[in-house]
Amino acid sequence: MPEHVLIFLIDTLILFLLVLSFYLITVYGYNLLLSLFAFKKAKRDYNLLPDKSRFLILVAAHNEEKVIRTTIKELKKIAYDPRKFDIFIVSDRSEDRTTQIAVEEDVKVIDTILDKFPREGIGKPAGLQYALREIGFDNVRENYDLVMILDADNFVDYSILRELNSQFIEKGRPQVIQSYLDSKNHNKAMSLAYSMVFWTNNRFSQVSRYRLKLNNSIGGTGFVVRSDYLIGSGGFNYSSLTEDLEMEIEIVKKNGRILWNEFAAVYDEKPEKLGVSMKQRHRWAKGHFYVAFKQFLPLLWLSIRHLDIRYLDKVFFLMTMARSTHFILMSLAVLLSALLLAFEGELYTVFTNATLTSSVDFINKHFIFANIMNIILLSYSFIFLPLFATYSKIKNRRFIRNISVFLYYIVTDFIIQILAMFTWPKQNSWYKTPHIQNEIKELDEEEIIDGTGDSTPSS
C-alpha cells in the first residue's frame, strides 16, 4: 500500500476516534454528573390533599380480551372520590371480545370501529384522538382537569390519583406528570432486561431531573396531561410512532413543565420473547430517531439563544436515544485505540509524517486518557447503574446473571437501532405488542426462565 494512502487511512481513523471519544465522553460524562443526584432515596415533596382534581382515564385497547377484564377490575379499586374520575376503554378497532368485556364490566366504552370520525394518525395516538373527538374537545376541557393515559395491560397503585392530584395542585399545575413505570413481570430473561432498563431510567434519569428541576420524560403510559393544554394543542394528533417523546419535546419548546412522581406506580407488562421485543423496540427506535433528527437542531438553537439548561438537557437526552449504538461504538473506540497504542513503534514514522497529528506523544496521551475515560463511563453507565438500580428495586444479588441479560438486551438493541437508522422516515406502521399477564410476577430466586420456556441456572 502506498505510504500516502496508509497515512491518510491512519489519520482518518485517528480523527474518527478523536471525534467519537469527545462525543461519548461529553454525553456520558453529563449522564454521570446527572446520576449523582439520584443516589439519595426520593422523598415526597408535596402534601397529600383532599380529592379535588377531576380525571379522565383513557385506556388504549386493541384486541386485549386476555387482559382487559382484570385491568378494569383493578382500576375500579382506585382510592379516590368516584365522582371525580371517569374510566373510558378506547377499544381501537378491536376484532375480539374487548368491547363486549368492557360493556360487561360496566365502564364507558369508545369503539373506534364505528368510524364516526376520520382517523387522525396511526396506532395508539389515533385511537386516543378518536376518543377525544367522541367525548368532545370542549367537554374534556370543561369537565376534567387531567387526562390520564394507560395501556390495556396496566395495573396501578390504588393511591395513584390521590398522589397525582396532590402533586398537581401543590406544584402549580404542570402540563404533564409522569408516574413511576414498574414491571408486572420480570421473571424471564427478556422481561428482566426490560425491567432493568426501566428501573435504571427511573432512578438515574427521572429522579435526577426532578431534583434538579429539569423536565422529566414522558413514558408512553401512566402519565397525566393537563386537559386544557392537551385540547389547546390539538389533542393526540402526532405524526411519529413515539407520541410520548413528540409531546415531551413540544412541551419543552413551549417552556412548559413535565414532572415525575416516585410514589404513584404503573405496572406494565414487558415482552418475554425476543421476536416480540425486537418488533416493539424497532417501533420505538424509529419514532425516537424521527423526533431526534427533527428536533435536535431547534432545541440546540433554543439552548444557545436563551442560555437555558432545560433545552440543553433535552439535547443530551435526544443524543442518548441511541445508547445501545453508543455502547458498541464506545467498545470499538477502546479496542481501536488500544490497537494503535500496541503498534505505536511500527507506526512511529507514519505518525510523525501525518498531517493531522503532531507527535506520537500527543497521540499517546490522548488515547490513554480517552481509553481510561471510556472504560470508566462504559462500566459506570452499562454495568454499575443497572446493577445498583436493580438491587435497590428487588434486592437481587445475582449480579453476573443480571448484567448478562442486560447486555444481551443492549446488543440486540444495537441491531434494531442500526435498522431504524435506515427506516426511521417511515412512520406509518404500528406494531401492537400482545399482552397476556393478569398478575404481577416476581423473580424466581432459584432460577430464571428465558423466553422459550427453558430454564437456565442462576449465576
Kind of pairing between the strands at 146-151 and 223-226: antiparallel
Q: What gap in Å lies between CA 285 and CA 414, rounded to an integer?
A: 10
Residue with the bigger pLDDT between 301 and 7: it is 301
Helix 189-201 and helix 399-423: axis angle, to 10°? 80
When pLDDT is averaged across residues 286-292 and rounded to a whole number, the result is 94
Residue with the bigger pLDDT between 389 and 356: it is 389
When pLDDT is averaged across residues 34-42 and rounded to a whole number, the result is 95
DSSP element (H, E) containing 268: strand 258-268
Cell triple for 234: 390539538
Residue among 144, 178, 149 at smallest CA distance from 90 = 149
Lowest mean pLDDT among 131-145, 280-294, 428-442: 428-442
Judge contact between 181 and 266, C-beta under 8 A.
yes
Contacts of 83 (CB under 8 A, 6+ apart): none
When pLDDT is averaged across residues 51-56 and rounded to a whole number, the result is 98
DSSP letter at 188 equals B
Q: What gap in Å lies between CA 258 and CA 217, rounded to an integer?
A: 7
Q: What gap in Å lies between CA 143 and CA 13, rounded to an integer?
A: 61
Contacts of 362 (CB under 8 A, 6+ apart): none
Query: pLDDT digit string (tens) for 165-196?
Result: 999 999 999 999 999 999 999 989 999 999 99
Q: What gap in Å lies between CA 9 and CA 339, rounded to an integer?
A: 15
**Coil, helix or strand at residue 158:** coil
Assign 435 a pLDDT band (cuts: 50, 70, 90).
Answer: very high
Query: pLDDT digit string (tens) for 313-338?
Result: 999 999 988 888 888 888 888 787 77
Q: What gap in Å lies between CA 218 and CA 264, rounded to an integer?
A: 14
How many residues would you count in the chain?
A: 459
Q: What gap in Å lies between CA 261 and CA 304, rounded to an integer?
A: 30
Query: pLDDT digit string (tens) for 340-367?
Result: 667 655 555 555 554 444 445 555 566 6
Judge contact between 251 and 175, C-beta under 8 A.
yes
Contacts of 68 (CB under 8 A, 6+ apart): 59, 61, 89, 98, 101, 102, 152
Alpha-carbon Rg for the chain, nearest whole angstrom, is 24
Q: What gap in Å lies between CA 328 and CA 337, rounded to an integer?
A: 14
Q: What gap in Å lies between CA 116 and CA 101, rounded to an integer?
A: 21
Q: Which residue has the cell 386537559?
A: 227
When pLDDT is averaged across residues 143-149 and rounded to a whole number, the result is 98
- Any alpha helices (H) in 136-188, and if so which ranges? 137-143, 160-170
DSSP element (H, E) containing 89: strand 85-91
Judge contact between 56 and 136, C-beta under 8 A.
no
Helix 323-342 and helix 3-35: axis angle, to 10°? 130
Every domain of the chain with CATH number 3.90.550.10 lies at 55-288
Judge contact between 253 and 299, C-beta under 8 A.
yes
Task: Specify the CATH architecture of the domain 55-288.
Answer: Alpha-Beta Complex (3.90)
pLDDT at residue 102 above 50?
A: yes
